[in-house]
Amino acid sequence: MTRSRLATLTAGALGVVVLAACTPGSNTASTPAPTVSSVNTDAAKLGNVTLTIWDQEVRGGQAAQMQKLNDEFQKAYPNIKIKRVSRSFDDLKTTLRLALSGNEPPDVVEANNGRSDMGEFVKAGQLLPLDKWAEAYGWNERYPASVRQYVSYSPDGKTFGEGNLYGLPQVGEVVGIYYDKKVLADAGVTAPTTWADFETSLATLKGKNQVPLMLGNLEKWPAIHVFGTIQGRTTPADQIRELAFGRQGPTWNTPENTKAAQTLVDWVDKGYLNPGFNGEDYDPAWQAFSKGTGAYLIAGTWLQADLQKAMGENVGFMLPPGDTADAKPVATGGTGLPFSITSKSKNPDAAAAYINFITNAKASAVLATTGNLPLADTAEQQSAGLQKDVFTSFAKAVDGDGLVPYLDYATPTMPDTLGAALQDLLAKKATPEQFLATVEKDRSAFVAKNG
């Protein structure tokens, strides 16, 4: 890959230096890859600024915290006006790529951490490295290296998990198992403490004419979380991490991954999933669960606020159990979508001040009170009910080094490949071996090209 210095740009009073980088999929230096040489953290003296911010904080608790923090930011810095554009996760993913390639992209965006989004944007020179602001604001002390790896790339975007910082998340995430206490009690089932107990309870619930597990998989990505939960019971965590970061060495074609895929097929054959799950939207599925349809829902902590509001004390949350009650936790998760600064922003210092404001200790308190899972200062927040379950589970996963990345981080095409392959597996259009061959083909092709 050829890299050469092309130009030096100045954004306001900032030292934003532009180097050559490769356009994704090419071997020619054509797209600037910016660096930042100096920063200003005195937001009150940045003059009158309008920040355009794209986020995906649309659900109840998410939207509430974002609105409150934006209001408080504008009160603290009346010279900085926020122009907010809020879209669903899927809408944001669809429109962000085009917006970043335009001449007037947003200043701040929430970009999915994986190679298909943040990795490609870094390659294309569309995001600013945040390291200078991290040093100035103390973000490296706010978030440990185990968190920062989820938002770090080499400047050329080839290496994921190390290098420059390209985003800062607000919230932690972990995928676990929500359960309806009344449905379990009516079936004579107690919350399982081992994986064997969990699978036994699925059979018991099916025998009681209950829907054991709810899934809405029309968007394809929800099944990735279900498969990842099963995979964490069959496959060593280190192997999952290597696969999810798209690194050389591991392969999908292993007996452990085959067992995970076969288990998912067995669940379908045994009728553990709600009818029509592959054609049902994600939101109606969890909303049906909140109204008493289904005993379990495998999903992330982003649903906490909405489920607690709808179900009160009737809903619980647990990490996927292991072979024994005291087994080391393994769960998909890490951070929520991080906030990044676009390289064409005319106000990157104001953008950084905004990101600092929505991730500081006061913001963590706002996140907790609005039903979210703050990534920083989690243990210092008051919690009860479902929120306490979620906070305790996340702390257990982090303290036990049990978080493994989302599998679709692995390659730029893996979200589509894995999602479609899982739909085919669930629909019995592909065997476990064919499913694994499909995702391994995607992985190996990317690794061969990326190095």
What is the tens place of the pLDDT at every residue in 293-321? 999 999 999 899 899 999 999 999 999 99
- Do 167 and 257 share a domain, yes or no? no
What is the tens place of the pLDDT at every residue in 186-218? 999 999 999 999 999 999 999 999 999 999 999
- Do 183 and 326 share a domain, yes or no? yes
Domains contained in the chain, number: 2
Residue 22 — pLDDT band, cuts 50, 70, 90? Answer: very low
CATH number where 367 lies: 3.40.190.10
- Do 88 and 119 share a domain, yes or no? yes
- Do 161 and 310 share a domain, yes or no? no
| pLDDT on residue 31 | 57
Instruction: Give the residue numbers spanning the domain of 442.
Output: 173-334+404-449
- Do 53 and 177 share a domain, yes or no? no
pLDDT over threshold 90, residue 42: yes
The answer to whether residue 31 sits within a structural domain is no
- Do 268 and 307 share a domain, yes or no? yes
The answer to whether residue 2 sits within a structural domain is no
The answer to whether residue 21 sits within a structural domain is no
- Do 81 and 104 share a domain, yes or no? yes
The answer to whether residue 252 sits within a structural domain is yes
- Do 185 and 296 share a domain, yes or no? yes
The answer to whether residue 140 sits within a structural domain is yes
The answer to whether residue 8 sits within a structural domain is no
- Do 443 and 423 share a domain, yes or no? yes
Give the mean pLDDT of 161-180: 96
| pLDDT on residue 451 | 75
The answer to whether residue 393 sits within a structural domain is no
Q: Calculate the average pLDDT of the chain.
A: 91
- Do 203 and 327 share a domain, yes or no? yes
pLDDT over threshold 50, residue 16: no
| pLDDT on residue 164 | 97
Indicate the range of 146-155, 175-184, 378-387 predicted with least confidence. 378-387
Residue 20 — pLDDT band, cuts 50, 70, 90? Answer: very low
| pLDDT on residue 5 | 27
The answer to whether residue 131 sits within a structural domain is yes
- Do 270 and 414 share a domain, yes or no? yes
What residue has token string 């008051």?
382
- Do 319 and 216 share a domain, yes or no? yes
Give the mean pLDDT of 219-239: 97
